[in-house]
Chains A and B, each alone.
Chain A
């Protein structure tokens, strides 16, 4: 028994070698959070671009010749949208029930 203890003690004097660092450990450690951050950044930038590109609704303007002329001269690109908005509120809806379109269709 003592002889076995002796040889055990001799064996224990030998120390197992320390293994090399796990390859690309730092990269492996960062890979998860980096992909989460990249995905979040892409999603955020897409949302911002979509928000900036949303169609602008023109401010309500008085449907007068003066204001329309001013818009046509100063912001010609907006004129079409302004006219569409004005026509929605000032012109009658010909498609409503009992409207002009329905009356004409009965003739």
Chain B
């Protein structure tokens, strides 16, 4: 892979010297190539997503309290056009729509490495999705993002990926948290989970992959 292709992937990874525990750092070191491949795959194959700088790594979810539980974590900004249809949804329903569209697809990519998923040091997965809040604002106003964070323990993730539980059951087991800008909203219970195959079916018109890149 060329340097130009590899660079965005390196930008996504949490640098090893920023881990606060040796356990996290060792996981980051051990699976660096897998993380680069994950970031590069999203960069090229899902180009409307932007993996946030240094967000890809083995973070510890804060709400888990004591211990050093390391989850493979990634934060993604979803770029989208302003959509009246989307704007009509409540914030919770927007989050549910984003969950339905992206969580399973990204979880599959994150769990692609058997060595990584089998590693007892990896205890789960965190997927953070954010998008631009659609609201009327002055040109000088800062944009506001809505954010949903999804925490899935490894057993639930593997059950889902092996087809032992449904997407609905995965959503019930996941810990899903929602923010409007910087304001934390109540934890999200998905009351409906629409089927959504956008990620696997959508092809950006006239998009040309870089030489040497293939997308599954």
**Same assembly:** no
Give A contacts to B, CB under 8 Å. Answer: none
Give B contacts to A, CB under 8 Å. Answer: none
